[in-house]
Amino acid sequence: MSDFNNSFWNIWVILLTLGGIAFCIIILWTQSRARSNSGQVTGHVWDENLEEYNNPMPNWWRWLFYGTIFFALVYLALYPGLGNFAGKHQWTSAGQYEKEKAAAEAQFKAAYGELLTQNVELVAADPKAREAGERLFLNYCAQCHGSDAKGSKGFPNLTDSDWLWGGEPAQIKETLLKGRMAVMPAFGHLGEEVIKDLATYVRSLSGAVTDKSIRAARGKEAFANNGCAACHGAEGKGTLGLAPNLTDKVWLYGGRDAVLIETIAKGRTNQMPAFGEFLGEDKVHLLTAYVYGLSQGNRTEAAKPEGK
């Protein structure tokens, strides 16, 4: 409660808090004075002869309430609760978080300090590092890439050898630290027929069976003349960090006609968030090694189902 826009709210909270405590004290004090009326009836009668007596609350109950008031005053003196007053201990939730974070970082470095100085290839081969990297992956990456890291529509498979931004340790680490932003521009202005031609040609690049040879031929010409080759290359094999390879069977959004037509007509935008500031260099190092190790068992050209 320390970020008030003006002093009015600070004073209002202080008065409201102390006023509520003072009101409780007055109530208890008036109850203690009412002991002289003990044994008198209030005049309230139920069921003909059931009368209400004006007896004060028991002393143990009254002193229990006084104890809660005393506790409240001590608490407000030690911890924040009265407007901008931070209390004697100067405690804040942000400070508590930073303290716990520092303790966790120290514990992490004590457990994995030796691994943090090794290169990614060595760390990826260490069972202890793989376990730590897997836990990090399941906590922060599995929501998009899946617990098995094989991705889903719009989220790439990390277990194959197809990398848009590069699959070497330094490239993976840069992706994790800084994030990535990829944009496929929309080509809806080309018209329905030209877009269908392009989709047919793109499918033919990856070996998809098609009997629309005339449409594919027109698509090849449109591919060269409308800016597609500028990013994907004249042969459609892609450009590292710019555009994916269209000649393999790896499809981020799917390789069916309808999906390709939608991609060409409307474009795609995809973002990998940056984890450098959130996780820190050390955790990213272990996570890099884990992701790098995922694809080491399969360095051949991956073949994913068309619907991926």
pLDDT digits (tens, 9 = 90+) for 47-66: 888 888 777 778 888 899 99
pLDDT digits (tens, 9 = 90+) for 200-214: 999 999 887 666 688
- Give the pLDDT confidence score for residue 4 in this predicted structure: 64
Rounded (10°) angle between helices 257-266 and 192-205? 120
Superfamily (CATH) of domain 100-179+273-294:
Cytochrome c-like domain (1.10.760.10)
| Average pLDDT of the residues in 235-249 | 93
Closest CA to 146 of 134, 161, 164: 134
pLDDT digits (tens, 9 = 90+) for 9-22: 888 999 999 999 99
User: What whole-number distance in Å separates Cα of residue 106 and Cα of residue 132?
Assistant: 15
User: What whole-number distance in Å separates Cα of residue 299 and Cα of residue 294?
Assistant: 10
Mean pLDDT is lowest, of 28-37, 151-160, 245-254, for 28-37
Half-sphere exposure of 227 (CA within 13 A, CB side): 7
Please state whether beta strands 268-272 and 180-184 pair in parallel, antiparallel, or not at all (unpaired).
antiparallel
Residue 36, pLDDT above cutoff 60: no
User: What whole-number distance in Å separates Cα of residue 92 and Cα of residue 80?
Assistant: 8
- Give the pLDDT confidence score for residue 115 in this predicted structure: 83
* Amino acid letter, 72: A
Q: Where in the chain is the domain with CATH 1.10.760.10?
A: 100-179+273-294, 183-271
Residue 168, pLDDT above cutoff 80: yes
User: Residue 76 — pLDDT band, cuts 50, 70, 90?
Assistant: very high
pTM: 0.70
Contact (Cβ atoms closer than 8 angstroms) between residue 159 and residue 303: no
Q: Which long-range contacts (CB under 8 A, 24 or more apart) does 131-140 make?
A: 132/286, 132/290, 133/286, 133/287, 133/289, 133/290, 133/291, 133/293, 134/290, 136/279, 136/283, 136/286, 136/287, 136/290, 137/287, 137/290, 137/291, 140/275, 140/279, 140/287
Residues in the chain: 308
- Give the pLDDT confidence score for residue 297 in this predicted structure: 58
- Give the pLDDT confidence score for residue 209 in this predicted structure: 64
Residue 31, pLDDT above cutoff 80: no
Q: What is the fold, at CATH topology level, of the domain defined by 183-271?
A: Cytochrome Bc1 Complex; Chain D, domain 2 (1.10.760)
